[in-house]
Structure 1
């Protein structure tokens, strides 16, 4: 099963491959794309959810078009750390996707991502209409940037020395 953790993720990517971040909602899927250096996440687009096979086909086409090596799915964990129905739906989406397409997938805690993005858009004085148009893909970029920052941090920390002399 290609569910990855951050340590495994970088090793499974070919040079020049990107990550595609997903913020799965009940009506839309916000999408964000990393650069090829895995440093910056940018909002890409928002897909209107339809039948699963159509959503999966759209994601497969985007993966091919942008040379995506792995998907980062925002996992909506409750504030107390438990997983509720939305997290279960996200895991089911991933299972169904792996059954037909077998992508590398990383789950990433998305607690408060939409709230943080919305707060930033309010501070930037975006209209309510404009916020509604971009919040999903901006939340996907926020989630994906968290993964990219984690990967950069892991690369900057030297490995722990062996405890044996």
Structure 2
């Protein structure tokens, strides 16, 4: 597996959860939550890319459980395209059908009310996406 940081995004209509991994691709951690409608969003993304210098970017692609593409998947694909125009590394869509459900369950199991922790859930969903992407990379190598 190539050494370098990867970044994952859980794109939503209101918020975008962001996660990053260490250069060895071992540990994915929550980074931040961005507001989709923020006028400074592109600037914030550019700052993240400058600071972390990712070698690969992953964007969660929400599909229906039967595999059909959702309206949200189209929005995520458009966001991935924008990231591809900004970043100097590959951008890949990753199936994220259960990332938010898994993140919400994990937060609830640790005693956190999901309504009070929406931004944290978005970050945790991005961690789930990144962990899945890292497993795919490790299995290819």
TM-score (norm 2): 0.89
Alignment deviations for residues 34-71 of structure 1 (CA, whole Å, 9 cap, x no partner): 110012110111011225x7322211210110121221
- 1:42 aligns to what? 29
How many correspondences in the alignment?
Answer: 141
State the Cα distance separating 1:85 from its structure 2 match: 1.1
Alignment deviations for residues 4-32 of structure 1 (CA, whole Å, 9 cap, x no partner): xxxxxx6xx6x4x2101000010111000
- 1:151 aligns to what? 137
Alignment deviations for residues 79-122 of structure 1 (CA, whole Å, 9 cap, x no partner): 11111211111111222333454541011000011111111111
Report matched runs for 1:46-125 at 5 Å. 46-50=33-37, 54-101=40-87, 103-125=89-111
Query: Aligned Cα RMSD in Å?
Result: 1.9
TM-score (norm 1): 0.77
Unaligned runs of 5+ in 1: 1-9, 156-165
After superposing on structure 2, the runs of 4+ consecutive aligned residues of structure 1 that deviate more than 6 Å are none
Partner SS, residue 92 of structure 1: helix
Unaligned runs of 5+ in 2: none
Contact 2:62 2:73 in 1 (8 A): yes
